[in-house]
Structure 1
Amino acid sequence: MKRLLVPSAALLWGLQFALLNPVLALLLVALFDATAGQVGLALAAYNLAGFAASLLVPAYADRRADYLRPMLVCAALTVALAPVLAFSTSLPVAVAALVVLGGPAGVGNSLLFAHLKHSGASTSSVINTRAVSSVAWVAGPPLATVLITGFGNGAVLTLLAVVAALTVVTAAAMIRTSRGAARAGAATAATATGRDEPMSRPGVVAVVGAFVLLQATNSAVVAVMSLYVTRDLGLPVAWAGIALGVAAGLEIPALLLAGRLTGRFSNLTLLTSGCVCGIAYYVVMTLVSGPVALLAAQVLNAWFFAVVAGVGLTLFQEVIPRAGLASGLYTNTRRVGAVLSGPLVGLGAATSLGYGAVFAASAALTLVSLVIVVVLQRSASRRAAGHPAREPGTVDTAAG
């Protein structure tokens, strides 16, 4: 039973936001008659609150070396958020709830992975847990739309409250079972060694920058997939959903494979392979002309995003000593990347290439990230060969 707690928590945290985030704009319009401008402002406030919480809450958890109790509070905030959205008739009240309750609640998933790192979990265990979260994102959005279609907007909020309540129960159970293992886990984490060499603080900044670019490309191409399929390829819009579904489904075995490969290759090596596949995917997408090639290209996309999502998280945990800060920063690369994806999406209407220009620009940005990763990898190899003394401005990738 104890072994099921972490996978269960990962599934429940994934479901919470796989249910809410894809339909949040729809709920604001349906429940509060929000205009397009109001929806944009509400989502911006919600994401800004999440950004701040992703830095502040993990920092608090790092200072206390306790990630489970803050995670429990985050789950309880989601329990409170659902009825406020369901029963409120005021858009300002709903937006305030999203900022005060929803922003901090979204940190719970990051705290789960910080707890895994702090308790000495292996890299493969972290990636396998991330794969469980991906299962939730495969099932969550279709389930939310089915509930709204069949039972109304309140049904998805009711399910959200139930899932959040189960998350509270799971977090409480993890707190009880982790007390006896806390010292052993901390000792394991302290003696664990990573496969990547120590990295300077400028190197950490470079890693963060590379991931912001990678996340931006992923957000942009997901956003324009429907438009690209219908306007540039001339296919029914259903093919866009099928393509994204295939990529999401393949992402799970890709994550499991990445977890197995972490014992043989460094995170930077695996990240290099992911960037290469990402560049290939974006280039192929500018050339596809039919549904067969469209679906075949998703194999490349699945490996690319599996590496960014799974290996990327563990890389952050190795190069940043504080587990909470590492997970929070990684989460925020996704948020910042989503903001930067806006200009990329705009290329679809600004150039003669149509929405294919978004894929071409994404290939270029991924190439920039690949160059950064290769430079960091070569620098790490030179340090490993020379075994230089540690300098004050470096952090140990094995710290956590």
Structure 2
Amino acid sequence: FIALNWGFDYMYLVAGSAFLLCAGVSKLLPKIPRQSAVKNQEILDNTPPRKSVIYLFIANLLLWTCNSMYLINMPLFVINELHLGKELAGTLMGTAAGLEIPVMILAGYLTKYFSKKRLMMIALVSGLAFYSSLLFAEQTWQLIGLQMLNAIFIGITATIGMVYFQDLMPTKMGTATTLFSNAAKSSWIIGGPIAGIIAEIWHYNSVFYVAVALILISVVCMWKVKSV
């Protein structure tokens, strides 16, 4: 909305102000004392399941790659291929972001009743349904309605994904968090070129076919992860 009505200068100004606000809020966070060193025997007894960690990393890398390709490709797809309004791209992103917040809260609550593996599988199935449906969606109301599936997909993985790594690596919290964040950051490196090359050779909606394939591979990888 800001970019279309006021220009990119104002959009970046608002973004910069948001970072300053985050910096101010961070000063209000409580200080957490460092935990005492874990005994060597306890570390040995809690050796992370290597294969599960690798499969979980691959699953997260691929699903975040799908999200990266979607965010890059979606505005161009909506404007150039579906010939819908330019403001719709922002509406779709805002709708998904707004729906993700209650999904994140609900996902944390549901860990009392469901395993993290089951929740992640629900997220992947929602992502598979989302990208598959994008291949047939042509109208504004359809694209907006599909954002609920997108919110479930991203909301659960953004919340449970990191916790899953930490549960698999209880004595290596820093490493677990880094693996999750690196999977997300690496997805931009992979997703950008893939989305650009596919759209250049074929069509914008062809990116969604690749996303469906990557989600299916993620499901296979997640199936092999140890349930915690």
Query: For this structure pair, what is the TM-score category when the shorter chain's length is used for normalisation?
Result: 0.7 to 0.9
Q: 1:311 to 1:146 in 2, by over 3 A?
A: farther
Whole-angstrom CA distance in 2 between matches of 1:298 and 1:155: 25
Of the three residues 131, 134, 153, the one matched with 1:304 is 153
- Alpha-carbon shift at residue 226 of structure 1 (Å): 0.6
Contact 1:147 / 1:153 at 8 angstroms: preserved in 2?
no
Residues 267, 165 of structure 1: alpha-carbon distance in 2 compared, 3 angstrom cutoff: same
> Residues 373 and 154 from structure 1, CA distance in 2 versus in 1: closer, same or farther, beyond 3 angstroms?
closer
Identity of aligned residues (%): 27
Contact 2:96 2:151 survives alignment (8 Å):
yes
Give the aligned partner of residue 338 of structure 1: 188
Matches within 5 A, 1:1-400: 157=16, 160-161=19-20, 163-167=22-26, 169-171=27-29, 174-175=30-31, 178=32, 200-320=49-169, 321-345=171-195, 346-351=197-202, 354-376=203-225, 380=227
Q: For the residues of structure 2 that align with 1:311 and 1:319, how far apart are their CA atoms?
A: 12
- Tell me how far apart the structure 2 counterparts of residues 155 and 361 of structure 1 sit (CA, whole Å): 34
Shift of 1:204: 0.8
Distance 1:236 1:359, change over 3 A: same
Structure 1 distance, partners of 2:2, 2:16, is 15
TM-score with structure 2 setting the length: 0.84
Closer, same or farther: CA 159–216 of 1 in aligned 2, 3 Å: closer
Q: Structure 1 residues 268 and 199 mapped into 2: Cα distance closer, same or farther (>3 Å)?
A: farther
Q: Summarize the Cα distance change of 1:155–1:234 in structure 2 as closer, same or farther, 3 Å threshold.
A: closer
Match of 1:51 in 2: none
When the two chains are superposed, the root-mean-square deviation of aligned CA atoms in Å is 2.9
Contact 2:64 2:184 in 1 (8 A): yes
Kindly tell me the number of residue pairs found equivalent between the two proteins. Answer: 217
Cα distance in structure 2, aligned partners of 1:363 and 1:161: 38
Partner amino acid for 2:186? V
Contact conserved, 1:243 with 1:294, CA < 8 A, in 2?
Answer: yes
Residues 146, 199 of structure 1: alpha-carbon distance in 2 compared, 3 angstrom cutoff? farther
Q: Tell me if structure 2 keeps the 8 A contact 1:147–1:156.
A: no
Between 368-377 and 209-218, the greater mean CA deviation after superposition: 368-377
Q: Which residues of structure 2 form unaligned runs of 5+? A: none
**TM-score, normalisation: structure 1:** 0.49
Report the Cα distance in structure 2 between the residues aligned to 1:221 and 1:202, rounded to whole angstroms. 29
Q: Distance in 2 between matches of 1:329 and 1:217?
A: 18
Distance, in Å, in 1 between the alignment partners of 2:12 and 2:67 is 29
Deviation of residue 363 (structure 1)?
0.8
C-alpha separation in 2, matches of 1:229 and 1:147? 20
Select the structure with the greater relative contact order (CA < 8 A; seq sep ≥ 6).
2
Is the partner of 1:268 in helix, strand or coil?
helix
After superposition, the Cα gap between the structure-2 partners of 1:224 and 1:259, relative to the gap in structure 1 and judged at 3 Å, is same
Give the unaligned 5+ runs of structure 1.
1-140, 191-197, 381-396
CA distance in 2, matches of 1:248, 1:159: 16
Report the Cα offset of residue 343 of structure 1.
3.3
Q: Of Structure 1 and Structure 2, which has the larger fraction of its residues in helix?
A: 1
**Aligned equivalents of 1:156 and 1:285: distance in 2?**
29
Letter in 2 for 1:164: A
3-state SS of paired residue (1:170): coil
